[in-house]
Structure 1
């Protein structure tokens, strides 16, 4: 028996609205005039529908802490001081605040880097592992054990990362620029891959987060690609930020991009933070043209790294569109893929698209009678959000213009 029948919706690539029939949490059929006796029926009203949105790099443990001085150094320093006051309940409350915003905006899959160091210990990891279980079936969480302040630079962090992975963290994180010199940064990367091999988990590294390549600690993307290839971790390694690439010469960018593509390293570009702190973002169009798996994310919501944001991936998509030549319908489609199926694939989650057999994560945009391009440009509210075939959020808005 079908779980759900979503009627009269317009997926991308369709000229006319269709129905979507869901069974056992997955899309069973997409066609006009479907029937599903006994199923919950939702009338899409001719609205456009997208796959569930994906946040592949969202710091839930550090969200909603307030703004900073606009520098990377200041953000790290201020956040490190705030972590001394973190409690389990505080982390849970702030993280759930952002998760509620995210699901209201249609995000159904989140990878969250969670700080692990001698200051905060495992407080935040334990909180996010609790939320992973609590939110299962609504938002799927991948928890990353993340050494924001370095490994060698913060003695004791390595053992805490090991314990975080033992407790159930899904991914080992790294922060390649966080050590005192470039050789220590390279050793940081090697230790991260050692842990990935030991626990058979994916790697997610913050890398090259600077306005230019003057500091060699912020020019390690090619090194990470080399280690990825050596360890056989292609398709299982992701880099975040890589803002430094934007400051390289075109020939240098092409060489680095080719190496990343060859090694199977994915990139998550974080326009809100990178533009706020560095004034530039990684060259998404060039990366995609070079065959590099690339995705988009908010990174942070309302803290010293990014004082803004509502955990809305369509806002992030539009912000990315402002930075590079994505103004055409084809360009917008390219970016929407980076916030849906393309991002999910980078996280090792297949079947995250609007096709039969895919997980039924669906976002209906409140823009009846228009296509998804117009709905995106209008920042249309999310009328319905379905996760795993279950309605998890519904938003109703009305506007009346008087005197016209």
Structure 2
């Protein structure tokens, strides 16, 4: 395949991209080749695929089952999921996950990390998602997190279920220390996470401090242990919304530890704006972690959808551009250069968190995975929330969308 007249982010002019055997062979202003499979993108922006670093594919499309979350709280969402979880079958989980993945593909996503609830004695969702992972391998990279929704030490046999899910084939070990019964349980649960990850050579992705409690400080425990063991690059803290409520003196002390540890942070802007601050009157906290401060302090941050129509978040489309739009508004990232940099939050930064850097990016010698958006530059893409026109996977067309220009009758 020869991709003609492409614009590349942070590069001037037009570029030609030659793909051979599913790899980027040559990227240059002028390319001479005899390839008859030509895609002329007419000056549109070519990007590496979007990365979805945090979603719950076992829960998608269950909003309203068995009833709607009326309070909008995280805790009611967990209670509702506990009821819905009793009805899970392998077919149920797989059909909903497949529906979400198809939708994500239309939005240019090719790399996904999904948390899967393993506080279920039968591990139904994990068994289903391991099959889905194999089935979608030619379409997307799917990483699975063994996620103990109801706790590791606070749920009967939680620790053994977590380890069993990892042995079955989960890519990451998860945790939820702020939801354990006590702080001591929370700290001990994180130690167990690291023990299992080291034992089976797995990555770590912990739901960490997803609560409006300024005294919930498990992030420092996670980062300190990652630093001690040299596992920071393979460790992710998801949500970290309590940081929204930390006093500045403590937060800036924490930034140093996070930077030294090389830990990754995932923020979920739409979900946590919806869930957090539910117990406040006014002023009402919105709960997104300190994305801008983290970026300015050299911490790898990415953003994620988290949910698509489940007990925690009743809407959602799987489009990473919605997360950028929410993030740049809520986190004061609307300086011109900040807006351009925000694209990193759904591309390169997410790839780094998923440990994909050696095979991610529009670069010669890497797999030919890329998207073409209906915009000439990053600013236009963000301003217009421009759609993805083409998604190419290892040099083969995965999705294409015709130009949809409105017809005006004036």
The interval holding the TM-score normalised by the smaller chain is over 0.9
1:17 to 2:14 alignment: yes
**Structure-1 residue corresponding to 2:23:** 26
- Preserved CA contact (<8 Å) 2:343 2:378: no
**Structure-2 residue corresponding to 1:319:** 326
1:86 to 68, 88, 107: 88
**Structure-2 residue corresponding to 1:107:** 109
Give me the whole-angstrom Cα distance separating, in 2, the residues matched to 1:345 and 1:358. Answer: 15
Give me the whole-angstrom Cα distance separating, in 2, the residues matched to 1:51 and 1:103. Answer: 13
**Structure-1 residue corresponding to 2:237:** 239
**Structure-1 residue corresponding to 2:43:** 46
Give me the whole-angstrom Cα distance separating, in 2, the residues matched to 1:161 and 1:169. Answer: 10
**Structure-2 residue corresponding to 1:258:** 256
Give me the whole-angstrom Cα distance separating, in 1, the residues matched to 2:81 and 2:131. Answer: 22
How many residues end up aligned between the 2 structures? 395
1:5 to 2:12 alignment: no
**Structure-1 residue corresponding to 2:282:** none
**Structure-1 residue corresponding to 2:246:** 248
- Preserved CA contact (<8 Å) 1:56 1:295: yes
- Preserved CA contact (<8 Å) 1:138 1:388: no
Task: Quote how far apart the aligned CAs of 1:403 are.
Answer: 2.7
Residue ranges of structure 1 left out of the alignment (5+ in a row): none
CA gap 1:224/1:8 in 2 versus in 1, 3 angstroms: same
State how 1:110-121 maps to structure 2 within 5 Å: 110-118=112-120, 121=122
- Preserved CA contact (<8 Å) 2:371 2:392: yes
1:268 to 261, 266, 271: 266
Task: Quote how far apart the aligned CAs of 1:23 are.
Answer: 2.3
1:293 to 2:300 alignment: yes
1:221 to 2:219 alignment: yes
1:65 to 2:62 alignment: yes
Residue ranges of structure 2 left out of the alignment (5+ in a row): 277-285
Task: Quote how far apart the aligned CAs of 1:86 are.
Answer: 0.7
- Preserved CA contact (<8 Å) 2:174 2:206: yes
Q: Give me the TM-score of the superposition, normalised by structure 1.
A: 0.94
- Preserved CA contact (<8 Å) 2:22 2:396: yes
CA gap 1:292/1:402 in 2 versus in 1, 3 angstroms: closer
- The 3-state SS of whatever aligns with 1:55 is strand
Give me the whole-angstrom Cα distance separating, in 2, the residues matched to 1:75 and 1:308. Answer: 14
Give me the whole-angstrom Cα distance separating, in 1, the residues matched to 2:391 and 2:373. Answer: 9
Task: Quote how far apart the aligned CAs of 1:402 are.
Answer: 3.1
2:366 to 358, 364, 371: 358
Q: Note the alpha carbon deviations across 1:270-309, whole angstroms, 9 max, x for none.
A: 1111100012201111001111111110111111222121
1:376 to 2:388 alignment: no
Q: Note the alpha carbon deviations across 1:221-266, whole angstroms, 9 max, x for none.
A: 1111111122221211100000110111122111112111111211
Task: Quote how far apart the aligned CAs of 1:353 are.
Answer: 1.7
- The 3-state SS of whatever aligns with 2:175 is strand
Task: Quote how far apart the aligned CAs of 1:398 are.
Answer: 2.6
Task: Quote how far apart the aligned CAs of 1:175 are.
Answer: 1.0
Deviates more, 1:227-236 or 1:36-45: 36-45
Task: Quote how far apart the aligned CAs of 1:357 are.
Answer: 2.4
- The 3-state SS of whatever aligns with 1:235 is helix
Give me the whole-angstrom Cα distance separating, in 2, the residues matched to 1:115 and 1:250. Answer: 34
Give me the whole-angstrom Cα distance separating, in 1, the residues matched to 2:23 and 2:341. Answer: 24
Give me the whole-angstrom Cα distance separating, in 2, the residues matched to 1:291 and 1:397. Answer: 39
Give me the whole-angstrom Cα distance separating, in 1, the residues matched to 2:78 and 2:327. Answer: 24
Give me the whole-angstrom Cα distance separating, in 2, the residues matched to 1:208 and 1:184. Answer: 14
